[in-house]
Structure 1
Amino acid sequence: MRTAGGAVRRAAVAVAGLVLLAGCGGGAGSRDGDGKDDGAAKGERPGGPARGASATTHLKQIPGIGTTLRTRIPADSRQVVAVYGKGPDSAESTVVLYEKNAKGWDQKGSWPAHNGRRGWTMDHHEGDKRSPVGVFALTDAGGVLADPGAGLPYTHSSAFTPPPYWSANTRHDFDYVVAINYNRVKGTSPLDPTRPEGQAKGGGVWLHLDHGSGTSACVSVAKPAMQTLLRALDPARNPVMVMGDRAHLAV
């Protein structure tokens, strides 16, 4: 599938400014990536599966995911993006792509990442600077840059450009994004500001490009990783993201 059309997506682009003011889980005036990293500056390494290790294959279960979250993964999901947070109050994490086949789950890629600068929460609220723990569908993508060959419906628009008052190192954060279906309407552009559970529960939580430190609530990876994930995620495989710090993931 390629660049999405239709009235819903056009309307969403028209109100894009509202989303970017409240985007990535922050409130109006939030600066996603204001340089307040709570880990990277200390030279700490993200937790989760070891980077550089050979990919694992034919797994019966996704590593590190306990019964609580595993039972929330839809039975027909054959792609899981797992985000292994280093700790409950850490901004560092590791993103791993798993795909399921007849023999089990195969690890397809692993990348260093960042999450909310204050870590993780089971009860995310607007402006808490923490990423929500849970299982969320991945159905929609977009960005400032043209579609790189995404499998998900892709909204190409300059409306993704971060506001000028955000830090300079965030200027390319939204060149590519995948909407994480936390408090949003699936099947619409990531720019759609609708929050079914209300404004106070936060929203605009995306997978996007990394700027080297924690976010307001989003998960971020380097550009090559984003391009790989955009091309790999396939609506027919019902992809979901399982995200949280390692302790919460294992419950």
Structure 2
Amino acid sequence: MPVPEPVPRPPYTVCAALLLLLLTGCAAAGTAPGPGGTAPGPAAVRTGAHAPTGNAGAHAPTGAAGPGAAAARGLAAPTAPREIRMLGQTVRSAIPAESRQALVVTGNSPDSSEATAVLYTRDDPAVGWEPAAGPWPAHNALYGWTDEHRVNDLRTPIGVYGLTAAGGLLEAPGTELPYVQSPAFTASGEGFDGESLEGSFDYVIAIDYNRVPGASPLDPTRPLGEERGGGIWLHVEHGGPTQGCISLPEDRMEELLRILDPAKLPVIVMGDGAALAR
């Protein structure tokens, strides 16, 4: 029987080339993905950075930058400052960049008179907004909310407004806001559900809708005209819908007055949930 001829072995240089090709192919499979499971960042692609199979702590060459490189080094990508979750971009952009206190009042629906209030602060811009007090139960106007408030429409105006002055029938409970104590804050009569209004204005904080910021809550000036209404306040809860104001329990009003700091340019962000998500 004839003996088969031996198969020629490839030259050493060819073997080396094949080995290099195999190693290069493994690197693509082992490179750590970027955030969200995306493909490696451009830096990893350009440099051909390798990660051993099964090694979660893949390394990028020194000097590599961007989220892909951070993921390749096993580091968390830089996080953006926290936003107030329920607010949409349009509403967020209406909050002044200098404001560091925001009372967010979220209505149950466009036509509801019930709402929830939470106070947020952002003392460290790098961290962003954080809840500081609440949630508190609140009431708004009888017929809910509106984008264009009119006098006697029994709706609360939607928007972002400054909180620059306070007052009340009672003595100030240690607030930094300008505070006017006056018997003119006496409330009487009944609310829409037959509840007594007595004590509703023991503490008030003026909401800067159609008024001169910083003026007394009792100032009657209406820059947008009388037909656009005014006198929109935060005041003490009386157990039912308001004519246009926001009401909170008395102890929560005291707490809010103590916390709000005019140096932090406090604002109120208010509206129904759908409106605030814009």
TM-score of the pair, normalised by structure 1: 0.75
Equivalent residue, structure 2, for 1:28: none
State the SS of the aligned residue for 1:139. strand
Equivalent residue, structure 2, for 1:69: 91
Structure 2 residue 129 is the aligned partner of structure 1 residue 105? yes
- In the alignment, which of 217, 242, 246 is matched to residue 269 of structure 2? 242
Equivalent residue, structure 2, for 1:124: 149
Tell me how large the CA RMSD over aligned residues is: 1.5
Counterparts of residues 93-242 of structure 1 (less than 5 Å): 93-102=115-124, 103-110=127-134, 111-163=136-188, 169-242=196-269
Work out which of the two has the higher radius of gyration on C-alpha atoms and give 1 or 2: 2
Contact 2:189 2:196 in 1 (8 A): no
Contact 1:91 1:115 in 2 (8 A): yes
In structure 2, give the amino acid aligned to 1:156.
Q
Unaligned residue ranges in structure 1 (runs of 5+): 1-57
How many pairs align?
A: 194
Contact 2:189 2:197 in 1 (8 A): no
In structure 2, give the amino acid aligned to 1:150.
T
Counterpart Cα distance in 2 of 1:165 and 1:232: 30
C-alpha spacing 1:125/1:91, structure 2 compared with 1 (3 Å): same
Contact 1:59 1:106 in 2 (8 A): no
Between the two structures, name the one with larger relative contact order (CA 8 Å, sep ≥ 6): 1
State the SS of the aligned residue for 1:243. strand
Counterpart Cα distance in 1 of 2:216 and 2:180: 6
Equivalent residue, structure 1, for 2:106: 84
C-alpha spacing 1:231/1:197, structure 2 compared with 1 (3 Å): same
Counterpart Cα distance in 1 of 2:123 and 2:197: 37
C-alpha spacing 1:99/1:217, structure 2 compared with 1 (3 Å): same
Contact 1:124 1:201 in 2 (8 A): yes
Contact 1:179 1:190 in 2 (8 A): yes
C-alpha spacing 1:165/1:104, structure 2 compared with 1 (3 Å): closer
In structure 1, give the amino acid aligned to 2:102.
V
Cα deviation for residue 204 of structure 1 reads 0.2
Cα deviation for residue 108 of structure 1 reads 1.1
TM-score of the pair, normalised by structure 2: 0.68
C-alpha spacing 1:120/1:165, structure 2 compared with 1 (3 Å): closer
Cα deviation for residue 69 of structure 1 reads 1.2
Cα deviation for residue 106 of structure 1 reads 1.5
Equivalent residue, structure 1, for 2:28: none
Cα deviation for residue 101 of structure 1 reads 2.1
State the SS of the aligned residue for 1:94. strand
Counterpart Cα distance in 2 of 1:143 and 1:89: 29
Unaligned residue ranges in structure 2 (runs of 5+): 1-79
Residues 165-216 of structure 1: CA distance to partner in whole angstroms, max 9, x if unpaired?
Answer: 7766111100000000000011111000110111110000000001111100
Which contiguous aligned blocks of 4+ residues in structure 1 show a shift greater than 4 angstroms? Answer: 163-168
